[in-house]
Structure 1
Amino acid sequence: MADRDVTPDDSLLKQIFTTNQPETISIFLQNWDKCVFKAEFPRDGEHRHSTCVVRLEAENKNLQTFTTIASMQQIAATIIPDLVPQTLQVGKAKNAQRRMFHFSVIELVDGDLLEDVWQQMSAEEQSSVVAELVKALEKLHSVRLSDKWVKEILDKMLREESDGIMKGFEQPGAFGGPHTGFLNGGPALLDSIMARRKLNKPFCTIEPIVGSQDVGIQSSFKELGSTVINKSDMDKWPGEAVLCHNDLNPRNIILQACASSGGLSKHKLVGIIDWELAGFYPASYELSLQDTYLSGANRHVSFYLLLKEHMKDLVPRSSSQIVLLQAMELIFESQQRYLIDGNNIPAHIRKRFLESSKLARDNDPYVGWTRVPQDGPFSEYSSAAIQQLEDNVVEEIIAKRS
């Protein structure tokens, strides 16, 4: 119910902003446990940041990720400071009903979401922005959990608040992040991938190979097949883990239009937001996740194709990275196939989107979805066309159910 949604009441605002209260607030997201809002202050000499974004999340025994997300964002900000919003404050506060909330205050990055301006950009602009983005990723991928300065940031931000999480990250061979927790070995990564895709009924299985420490992944759908992952490859994943954002979709990339030398407006990359999925994983983990966002968080096929073309060069061509790509593809596509058979609407929308875009899986797992040259020039979907596609699918599914 709407009246039970989290609201930034006076009690919360006075604890978060102790010296001066915001003039206005605008709510972006709101439910029973969470609220994200923009706070605007009058512009004066006392405030470096006249506008900021505040995230509130109700405290509960399962909430062990809030400070970890802030720490991952702080690590990223150390490497690419011009592109990561500054975390101004992290803490706890109670509302008027004495309910406890975790909160973070983050600087607002001015600009446009890539999602809103991508189709207005020239091919040259698009290539330039993606090149900037991949350059930033390359810097992130140079960061390891074992780096001394990374451990210092984690220790400072997590020691007092989340001692158990810090101890997990300190274990030899640990990797991971907020959405998976810390992982203590390759099999744990596979378990977390399966847990994230879990449905009421199995769509594929992960089982040990008899007489070895290897594991086999078998899809419930014969045509999707199976794969075997050697223990030696799984053992390499912790050592290959680098800092990844893991959610590089057009809604999390901020651009600004600026005047070029010729006087024309040109977009440039100014921000990467939403670090909830960030953490330390093999680079192939992040590469594979891009394939799962098509038709949902990413509806710009040309952005996907361009980003994948550049990102694949950041991932080492090793057997360990290849088998992780194959495993993630098999798990995700098996899940989607199960959902399609069950008349799941988002799964059917994705299937129709891929078919209409004439996308097919490349034999190279680094490439993901691609188009063949004989399909001719690609015409990007407009927002209206996507909405029509979704409406058609919904209408068809409802008709089947009735």
Structure 2
Amino acid sequence: MPTFPVIITVAKDESSIAAAIDPILYCDTVTQGLLPVTISSAAQEALVPDSTILSGILHDVAADKLAEWTVLPNTLTTCTFRIHVETVRPSYPSDLLIRLEAASGSNLAALAGLQALAHAQLPHLVPTVLHVGAVTDADGREMEDSITPYYTGTATLEEVWDTLGQDDQRGVVDVVVRAVETLQKAVCGQVGGPKLGYSPDVQGFLRGLPLRNCSLSEVAGGDLVLSSMSADIGQVTFSPSDLADLNRHVVFCHNDLEPRNIFVRSVAGRCEVAAIIDWEMAGF
């Protein structure tokens, strides 16, 4: 079996997994239980996984079979770390990306379902969801976790775009465009996603949005008007025909397809798209 790297993401709320593959340049090393842990200076006051979390997620892997794991950029409520497992479960790579969220209000299972849908359409570009489960930390706090493979030998498109030649840039864009077209072949009878909820139509979805810097109003004739609090931005009006047209074109979208969420690798001197990650904003 080939060796791949493993990343574990521990989170109490949503965060980008893209940052997880960036190397940590300045780290202090500490020891937690039997495992050597590498933690960045900025991360030491933020959330880090404990041995209880690790044993809950990798309960069938002996501690002495876990290599050094490295905490990647994290917050008070989110943590991503990478770990290499010498002895792995059947069908698992030895390097993984593991995401953990507080069970209260977690959408992790629903998000994993949408990522599984995307993987079914783009198996060569969307990481497989290997596992979704639940664990507790040393304080007894309940959390949900998911496991996906970690892509070795890759970088984010954001990191390398300026170094690519025009042919490679066009090639990457073509692959991403075709991927979006493939995703949009999936349709649904509702509008929305796990983060913002679902509605039977665009009108209901707009009315249910937690608006902060704008307001939504309905005027005579059935128009919906979305007005910004800033006079410089103005407003957008949706006529009944606009809304009907939008309802006919509700499709599956990633909704955060930024260069930081696209992994690329060099193959025979050419840049190729390796994976599309971070499906937290996905929906219809």
Structure 2 length as normaliser, TM-score?
Answer: 0.76
**What displacement does 1:225 show?**
3.9
Q: 1:126 to 1:226 in 2, by over 3 A?
A: same
Distance in 1 (CA, whole Å) between partners of 2:270 and 2:81 is 29
Distance in 2 (CA, whole Å) between partners of 1:207 and 1:45 is 54
Q: 2:132 aligns with which of 75, 90, 98?
A: 90
Q: 1:124 aligns with which of 162, 167, 173?
A: 167
Distance in 2 (CA, whole Å) between partners of 1:10 and 1:219 is 48
Partner of 2:34: none
Q: 2:81 aligns with which of 37, 40, 46?
A: 37
Partner of 2:278: 274
What is the percentage of aligned positions where both structures have the same residue? 28
Q: 1:16 aligns with which of 54, 57, 61?
A: 57
Q: 1:220 to 1:96 in 2, by over 3 A?
A: closer
8 Å Cα contact 2:53-2:136 kept in structure 1 = yes
Q: 1:98 to 1:214 in 2, by over 3 A?
A: same
Partner of 2:180: 137
SS at match of 2:180: helix
Which structure 1 segments of 5+ residues have no match?
A: 146-172, 260-264, 281-402
Q: Which has the higher strand share?
A: 2
**Structure 1 counterpart of 2:237, which letter?**
V
Q: Which has the higher helix share?
A: 1
8 Å Cα contact 1:24-1:41 kept in structure 2 = no
**Structure 2 counterpart of 1:109, which letter?**
Y
Partner of 1:115: 158
Partner of 2:267: 258
**What displacement does 1:69 show?**
0.8
Distance in 1 (CA, whole Å) between partners of 2:260 and 2:206 is 27
8 Å Cα contact 1:186-1:236 kept in structure 2 = no
Q: 1:226 aligns with which of 232, 235, 238?
A: 235
SS at match of 2:252: strand
- The 5 Å alignment of 1:277-356 reads 277-280=281-284
**What displacement does 1:213 show?**
2.0
Q: 1:7 aligns with which of 16, 41, 48?
A: 48
**What displacement does 1:190 show?**
2.4
**What displacement does 1:192 show?**
5.2
Q: Which has the larger radius of gyration?
A: 1
Q: CA RMSD in A?
A: 2.4
Q: 1:51 aligns with which of 55, 76, 95?
A: 95
- The 5 Å alignment of 1:183-194 reads 183-191=199-207
How many correspondences in the alignment?
Answer: 239
Which structure 2 segments of 5+ residues have no match?
A: 1-41
8 Å Cα contact 1:34-1:58 kept in structure 2 = no
Distance in 2 (CA, whole Å) between partners of 1:7 and 1:218 is 41
Structure number with the bigger relative contact order (C-alpha 8 A, sep ≥ 6) is: 2
Q: 1:218 to 1:11 in 2, by over 3 A?
A: closer
8 Å Cα contact 1:25-1:40 kept in structure 2 = yes
Partner of 2:116: 74
Distance in 2 (CA, whole Å) between partners of 1:3 and 1:122 is 39
Q: 1:100 aligns with which of 116, 130, 142?
A: 142
Distance in 2 (CA, whole Å) between partners of 1:219 and 1:7 is 39
